Amino acid sequence: MASVSADSILEGLRGSLFATSSDETKQVLTGVHVVAEPETLEFAATEGHRLAVVQSADDSGIDLAINVTVPGKALRELERLLQAYQGTEPIALRFDPTQVVFELGHQRITTRLLEGAYPNYRQLIPPKFERQLTVDRKQLMAALERIGVLADLRNNIVKLSISGRGQTLALSVEAQEVGSGREEMSAQVTGDELDIAFNVRYLLEGLRALPSSEIQLQCSSATSPAILTPVSGLQMTYLVMPVQIRS
């Protein structure tokens, strides 16, 4: 048995659950992979095109090694209970080889664990990047939401044009027969110019889960993975694969 603070679990779920797969044929990806080491809890979720990893500091003294995949459905229910949880007691976790039990106060959730090897997600995160930019998170979200209306009509793809010379980030969408949209904002940029495109929904969902006023986007090329991280606060890495655009 382990006891973990409610805040640590809630933080981990908020930053990972959204990135799980809904495809039941890839069953292990419909869950969140939870790894516990002394004083840290790691939550990871991926569906193939993106990956969310949250490291949550926990000082309640987890002393057992946990390396399990818990179904997303059960964790959504746990998240709902934790949001309403008023207690100060830590959450008790009980494991056996096939299931996990979460106990909060008088409430209990029991769920089976997902079978199968979870992908080695840590090796997907590149060790270094050639370009990085820092930008205001809410400003970027607002621009993506506005321009995303056009992207919805096309194929959900938004192009990001990063300019080190101008210290700007421009977002653009080309929607045939409807028109095109472009928004530009200032950003702190290091590295050469680059055009890179993403699924607008993946970007927005990641930005909603990164609770800091500024975020950093790191990337190397238009075809290699990019990562988003908060500039302060939560330790979270959100990796997203770019979409290839025909010029």
Looking at 123, 141, 156, which one is the last position of a domain?
123
Question: 51-60, 77-86, 133-142, 181-190: which range is least confident on average?
Answer: 51-60
Q: Which residues contact 80 (CB under 8 A, 6 or more apart)?
A: none
Whether 87 and 153 map to the same domain: the answer is no
DSSP for 87-123, written as a single string: --SPEEEEE-SSEEEEEETTEEEEEEPPPSPPP-GGG
Residue 245 lies inside a defined structural domain of this protein: no
Whether 21 and 73 map to the same domain: the answer is yes
pLDDT at position 60 over 80: no
Whether 103 and 35 map to the same domain: the answer is yes
Q: Which residue has the higher pLDDT, 137 or 66?
A: 137
Cα 220 to Cα 192: distance, rounded to the nearest angstrom: 10
Whether 164 and 104 map to the same domain: the answer is no
Whether 173 and 96 map to the same domain: the answer is no
The pLDDT of residue 194 is: 96
Mean pLDDT of 124-132: 95
Confidence of residue 74 (pLDDT cuts 50, 70, 90): very high
Whether 100 and 143 map to the same domain: the answer is no
Q: Which residues contact 33 (CB under 8 A, 6 or more apart)?
A: 43, 44, 45, 67, 68, 69, 118, 121
Count the domains in the chain: 2
Whether 57 and 162 map to the same domain: the answer is no
Whether 61 and 36 map to the same domain: the answer is yes
Looking at 94, 123, 152, which one is the last position of a domain?
123
Six-digit token string for 27: 């069953």
The pLDDT of residue 64 is: 67
Whether 14 and 108 map to the same domain: the answer is yes
Whether 25 and 62 map to the same domain: the answer is yes
Cα 194 to Cα 222: distance, rounded to the nearest angstrom: 7
DSSP for 132-173, written as a single string: EEEEEHHHHHHHHHHHHHHHHHHTSEEEEEEETTTTEEEEEE
pLDDT at position 87 over 80: yes
Mean pLDDT of 88-105: 90
Between strands 40-46 and 31-37, the pairing is: antiparallel
The pLDDT of residue 212 is: 94
Provide the residue range defining the domain that includes 28.
2-123
Whether 147 and 101 map to the same domain: the answer is no
SS3 36: strand
Looking at 83, 98, 123, which one is the last position of a domain?
123
Residue 114 lies inside a defined structural domain of this protein: yes
Question: 31-40, 106-115, 152-161: which range is least confident on average?
Answer: 152-161
